Amino acid sequence: MGENKRAIIVGIPGVGKTTVITRAAEILSNRGYKTSVVVFGTVMFEEAKKQGLKDRDEMRKMSVEDQRRLQDTAARRIAEMKDPVVLIDTHLFINTREGYYPGLPVRLLEIMRPTNFVMIAADPGEIINRRRTDSTRQRDVASPEEIQHELEISKVMVASCSILTGSPFVIVMNREGKIDEAASNIAKALTGGDDGERKKNE
Ligand code: ATP
Ligand code: MG
Could you give the CA distance from residue 90 to residue 165 in angstroms, rounded to a whole number? 17
Mutate to test the pocket of ligand 1, among 8, 94, 130 (most ligand atoms within 8 A of CB): 130
- DSSP labels for 71-130? HHHHHHHHHT--SSEEEEE--SEEEETTEEEESS-HHHHHHH--SEEEEEE--HHHHHHH
Q: How far apart are CA 183 and CA 175, in angstroms?
A: 11
**CA angle (16 as vertex; 169, 42 as ends), nearest 5:** 85
Of all protein residues, the one whose alpha carbon is nearest to atom 15 of ligand 1 is: 130
* Number of structural domains found in the chain: 1
Supply the pTM of this predicted model: 0.92
Minimum-distance ligand to the CA of 181? 1
Q: Within a domain: residue 155? A: yes
CATH number at residue 151: 3.40.50.300
Q: Which domain does 162 fall in, by range?
A: 5-39+84-191
Ligand 1 atom nearest the C-alpha of 139 is 3
Q: Which of 60, 32, 30, 35 is nearest to 45 (CA)?
A: 60
Kindly state whether residue 75 falls inside one of the protein's structural domains: no
Among 24-28, 86-90, 93-97, 162-166, which is the least confidently predicted range? 93-97
Confidence check: pLDDT of 202 > 50? no
